[in-house]
Every structure is written in structure tokens, then in C-alpha cells.
Structure 1
Amino acid sequence: MMNITIASEHRLVIQDKTQVADAISLCLGTDGLLLTENDVGHDFFRLESGVAGELLQKLVNYGVKTAFVCPDPSAYGQRFSELALEHSTHPHVRFFRAPQEAIDWLRAGGGASA
């Protein structure tokens, strides 16, 4: 059985960079993390804030497979939409439009084939 951390079930909301460590520590030793738009604050979508960059980099550094559900990345601007597209095939952190796709990818081990 897979041990996937679902952020909302742990009341994890990443509002700023100070909460990145909380997310990482919650996921260590698990098979992955499922995040949605509701699990991050406004600054996550403002790439110039650095919240998304720091979170995504730490997740990769610590080997935490992460699926981020965002039905319409373009709603957050062109730069964020480009980030989501760049991560559509990333081996550790991927963006998905539907929750079931994200869960399926995590259950499959988060490999190259979704």
C-alpha cells in the first residue's frame, strides 16, 4: 500500500518560504505528496516571490515525488503556465489538471510514464 501525503488531510498550507521545511518534514519517508491550488498561498503563483522555486527545488533535493493539481495553470499568468508545462514530464515534481491523474502517477511510483 502506498503512503501518499495529501496536504489537505494534514492541514498543510504553504503560504511562504518559512513553511517549506514543514512540507518537507511531513513527507520524508512517504511515497509522495499531493498538493492542490488550495494548499499553497497566493505567493506560490507569483514566481518572483521565490516560494514556488524554493518549494520545488527542496522537493527535488529531498527526493519527494510531488503531484500538484492545478486545473488551469494559465489562470495564474503566462510564467506560471510555462512552469507547469516544463514540469509536465519532470521525474520528481509534476503538474496535473485532475486529481485522479496525480494520484495515479504517484501510485505508479512517479516515474517517467504517467
Structure 2
Amino acid sequence: MALADLERDGHGYLADLTQWNEDIAQELAAEEGIELTAESFKLINFLRNEYINNNANQPNERNMVKGLKSDWEGKLDTKALYKLFPKGPAKQAGKVAGLPETRRKGGY
């Protein structure tokens, strides 16, 4: 199924996170003007796992860094996350991950 066939909210987030796959992620990333890397998918998969398996948890940047540090090549800090998702790792990576829009302060 292509991204154009999926239901989305007014901000472009998927209405049903179970319809997400890596091809959909690539299409969402293209809309956002970013290119996904192996590190991008580490963050995306971390966010999906937290949301699906941890009571709909949507971690902030500090907790993303903490949760990903052991599986990251090189230095990991919030700057590294913003290089991957310049409009904000919580909102932009969450969107590409097929998750609902986070209600945390900030964003775009």
C-alpha cells in the first residue's frame, strides 16, 4: 500500500500506526525533505517500540539519547538526533515512524 492510500490526520500523521512499514517511512521522509539512514531507522524503531510496547510512551530527546546510546556508532547527543530530523526528533521522527502526533511542547 502506498502512502497516498492511507488515512492521515490534518498534520500528515498516519491515522493507523499498524499500516506503517519502511517503504511508508521513506515516503514520509521524502515529504519532510529528509533522507533516512541506518541511524534514522534506529531512532524510528526505538520510538515505535516505546510507543507500542511501553503504554504509548513518546520519549523526549534526553530519553531518546539515553535509550539509544548503547546501540549507536560514535557520539550520540541531541545534536546528532537533530541532524537526522532537523524539525525535531520527537515530532518529525515520530511522524516518519507512523506514530500519532506527540502532544509534548514545542515542535513544528
Higher relative contact order (CA 8 A, sep 6+): 2
TM-score w.r.t. the length of structure 2 is 0.33
Higher strand share: 1
TM-score w.r.t. the length of structure 1 is 0.32
